[in-house]
Amino acid sequence: MPDNKCKKLIVSSCLPPKLFMKKLMSSGNIDDLVEQLISNDAVPSVIKENDMVTENTRNRIKNHISILQDYKVNRSKELDIPICAISSHRDLIAPYKDMKLWCDYTCNYFTHQLVFGDHFYFRENSRLIDKIV
């Protein structure tokens, strides 16, 4: 029988849930936050160039936020699997110092890889990401 247990969690340019929600709630209105993300560099220009794709992205971000609003961290049940966080040196959405906080979500080992680029670093670093994964 195959072992279906997750062997490792790899998180990439995403804040730990508790910190994400703290930043989200401090920003006020969810619609304003989504518009801020879309108007800044959080969304690639190729998405912003197409109104239909922009609206689809806007809805996906809102859905993601609505799921996380109900997320509750159970501190007594940390994950018993390794976590590898990957972040970039110019990521304004999920900066290096915040990504380090993923270590609080595991009782196993934690590694943190810093790569060159912005929030969408994977476009410039695909070979390096393959090696990390």
CATH at residue 71: 3.40.50.1820
112 in a domain, yes or no? Answer: yes
Task: State pLDDT tens for residues 9-36.
Answer: 889 888 887 787 677 666 667 777 777 7
1 in a domain, yes or no? Answer: no
Q: How many CB atoms lie within 10 A of CB 119?
A: 22
Q: How many domains does the chain have?
A: 1
Q: Please give the Cα distance from 44 to 29 (Å, whole number).
A: 22
2 in a domain, yes or no? Answer: no
The residue to which tokens 């006020």 are assigned: 28
Task: State pLDDT tens for residues 69-119.
Answer: 666 666 666 788 999 999 998 888 888 999 999 999 899 999 999 988 887
Name which residue leads in pLDDT, 127 or 75: 127
3 in a domain, yes or no? Answer: no
* pLDDT for the residue 130: 82
